[in-house]
Amino acid sequence: MLELNFATTARIVLRDGALDALPEIFGEFGVKHVALITDPGLVKAGLVAPVEKSLKAAGLAVTLYDGVQADPPTRIVLAAVDDLRAAGVDGVLGLGGGSAMDVAKLVAYLLKTPEPLEKIYGVDLAKGARLPLVLAPTTAGTGSEVTPISIVTTETDEKKGVVSRRLLPDVALLDPNLTLGLPAPVTAATGVDAMVHAIEAYTSKRLKNPLSDVLARQALALLSKNLPVVMKDGKDKDARGQMLLGSCLAGMAFANAPVAAVHALAYPLGGHFHVPHGLSNALMLLPVLRFNLAGAAPLYAELSEVVGGEEKSAEGFFKAIERIVGVCDMPKKLHELQIPRDILPKLAEDAMKQTRLLVNNPVEVTEPDALRLYEEAF
Ligand SMILES: NC(=O)c1ccc[n+]([C@@H]2O[C@H](COP(=O)([O-])OP(=O)(O)OC[C@H]3O[C@@H](n4cnc5c(N)ncnc54)[C@H](O)[C@@H]3O)[C@@H](O)[C@H]2O)c1
Ligand SMILES: CCCCCCO
């Protein structure tokens, strides 16, 4: 019996200059004072000042919080909540990659429903209201602008997720211009991350459904075609727009058919060594695809033609992904990041704690398997 229980962002706008709709959007919600949540890299890239200026020109008060850090530590979320509550904001704009957007989601929620973060880790435990929330991605990307998820890093370096439909924004604004200056290594890592979202959604053993399948296939078609293009020319605005759409569709897909072993093995790399999320997924992708080949062969064969595989087979799919990863400007092996080999057993042990992700993998992963996968990635 077919089943569907699909949730995503109510309104998604993709166009040149999409953020010029911000005053109208916040006006619809009666917002007078906007919290602009971003990170120092975005400020340095010159992407924040024009947005702040246009909001103020429209008569909105703006309080900037630009203290977001990658893989946001919980203390950053709480500091943002304290600063912005004191400022008296009544609406939130998240401008940045997944780190800034995830912080913005949690801040919008906690400002309206003050409760300990620990109380809402997990699925559907955040049941309160939130402030009006708009997200504008500048990487392509996590797809956070269309997922009910925020990922934080605890004081003990553990990645924790808050999964609640309350975290879905009211509006997602996608403007390719915001990604034109994305540095090549970040373009590569975030682009592969988006591909991983689509691949793992398509092969998820839990909650895979006809709608997530359609989204994952279209996401992969866009991402596999355009990632090599933007790697060659980051100023290709059309290709950047296709990447933003692809990562957005991939986000919708995995938000409804959850990710699996690539993410489970990537998390300890972020937790222990602060390897950027997209890169950690890219480093584990090929070993996990090879590990899954036999068990996921029919599904990988279906994806082969979507990604330009030379043959409609699992091997054809693997070779096509290997070729795309190969043209990406980023480290390809763990040893390039000075990760010591003797930590691999600890990484395998930690990866096995991500049971909520591992259960979605098309092939069961044991701790010895996890260790072998890290050795292959080394
Ligand atoms: N909520 C979700 O559904 C979801 C999904 C996947 C990942 N995540 C989380 O998202 C985070 C990773 O997000 P990310 O991969 O987008 O990276 P990021 O947000 O951490 O940004 C990476 C770096 O790129 C810079 N940057 C971003 N956009 C730029 C631009 N346009 N020009 C110049 N510099 C730019 C940032 O300043 C930062 O230094 C992790 O914390 C991960 O756990 C969340
Ligand atoms: C708990 C949900 C994990 C989502 C991972 C996206 O990087």
pLDDT given for residue 4 in this prediction: 78
Whether 171 and 261 map to the same domain: the answer is no
Q: Which ligand is nearest to the CA of 101?
A: 1
User: Is residue 292 a contact partner of residue 363, using CB atoms and an 8 Å limit?
Assistant: yes
CATH number, domain of 191, equals 1.20.1090.10
DSSP 175: -
In-domain check, residue 210: yes
- Of 204, 196, 219, 150, the closest CA to residue 357 belongs to 204
What residues flank ligand 2, with Cβ below 6 Å? Answer: 149, 161, 163, 259, 263
Measured by CA distance, the residue closest to atom 6 of ligand 1 is 142
Whether 168 and 195 map to the same domain: the answer is no
Whether 211 and 116 map to the same domain: the answer is no
How close is the Cα of 267 to the center of ligand 2, in Å?
10
In-domain check, residue 298: yes
Whether 249 and 347 map to the same domain: the answer is yes
Look at residues 117, 150, 178 and tell me which one is the last residue of a structural domain: 178
How close is the Cα of 74 to the center of ligand 1, in Å?
16
Residue 354 to residue 179: CA distance in whole angstroms: 31
How close is the Cα of 197 to the center of ligand 2, in Å?
9
Measured by CA distance, the residue closest to atom 40 of ligand 1 is 71
pLDDT given for residue 329 in this prediction: 85
pLDDT given for residue 159 in this prediction: 85
CATH number, domain of 104, equals 3.40.50.1970
Ligand 2: which of 120, 149, 356 to mutate, most ligand atoms within 8 Å of CB?
Answer: 149
Torsion sign across C-alpha atoms 7, 219, 278, 259: positive
pLDDT given for residue 333 in this prediction: 97
Q: Point out the ligand 2 atom lying closest to the alpha carbon of residue 123.
A: 1
Measured by CA distance, the residue closest to atom 1 of ligand 2 is 161
In-domain check, residue 37: yes
pLDDT (tens, 9 = 90+) of the chain, 378 residues, equals 777 788 899 999 999 999 999 999 999 999 999 999 999 999 999 999 999 999 999 999 999 999 999 999 999 999 999 999 999 999 999 999 999 999 999 999 999 999 999 999 999 999 999 999 999 999 999 999 999 999 999 998 888 999 999 999 999 999 999 999 999 999 999 999 999 999 999 999 988 999 999 999 999 999 999 999 999 999 999 999 999 999 999 999 999 999 999 999 999 998 889 899 999 999 999 999 999 999 999 999 999 999 999 999 999 999 999 999 999 989 999 999 999 999 999 999 999 999 999 999 999 999 999 999 999 999
Whether 87 and 128 map to the same domain: the answer is yes
Look at residues 156, 178, 200 and tell me which one is the last residue of a structural domain: 178
In-domain check, residue 6: no
In-domain check, residue 171: yes
Which residues are paired to 161 by β-bridges? 151
Whether 118 and 235 map to the same domain: the answer is no
Q: Which ligand is nearest to the CA of 204?
A: 2
Q: Point out the ligand 2 atom lying closest to the alpha carbon of residue 277.
A: 7
Whether 117 and 235 map to the same domain: the answer is no
pLDDT given for residue 157 in this prediction: 82
Residue 316 to residue 360: CA distance in whole angstroms: 23
The predicted-structure confidence for 118-143, as pLDDT tens digits, reads as follows: 999 999 999 999 999 999 999 999 99
How close is the Cα of 88 to the center of ligand 2, in Å?
31
| First vs last C-alpha separation in the chain | 43
How close is the Cα of 221 to the center of ligand 1, in Å?
22
Q: What is the ipTM of this complex?
A: 0.97
Whether 36 and 136 map to the same domain: the answer is yes
In-domain check, residue 34: yes
Whether 169 and 217 map to the same domain: the answer is no
- Of 150, 162, 173, 63, the closest CA to residue 103 belongs to 150
pLDDT given for residue 271 in this prediction: 84
Ligand 1: which of 47, 135, 144 to mutate, most ligand atoms within 8 Å of CB?
Answer: 144
Whether 67 and 79 map to the same domain: the answer is yes
Both tokens of residue 179?
A: 């990604």
Whether 159 and 128 map to the same domain: the answer is yes
The predicted-structure confidence for 151-186, as pLDDT tens digits, reads as follows: 999 998 888 999 999 999 999 999 999 999 999 999
pLDDT given for residue 2 in this prediction: 75
How close is the Cα of 93 to the center of ligand 2, in Å?
22
Q: Point out the ligand 2 atom lying closest to the alpha carbon of residue 193.
A: 7
Q: Point out the ligand 2 atom lying closest to the alpha carbon of residue 266.
A: 7
DSSP track, 60-86: -EEEEE----SS-BHHHHHHHHHHHHH
In-domain check, residue 5: no
Q: Residue 32: enclosing H or E segment and its boundaries? A: none
Whether 280 and 364 map to the same domain: the answer is yes
Structural domain boundaries enclosing 269: 182-377
In-domain check, residue 301: yes
Residue 138 to residue 102: CA distance in whole angstroms: 13
Look at residues 178, 205, 229 and tell me which one is the last residue of a structural domain: 178
> Domain count of the chain?
2
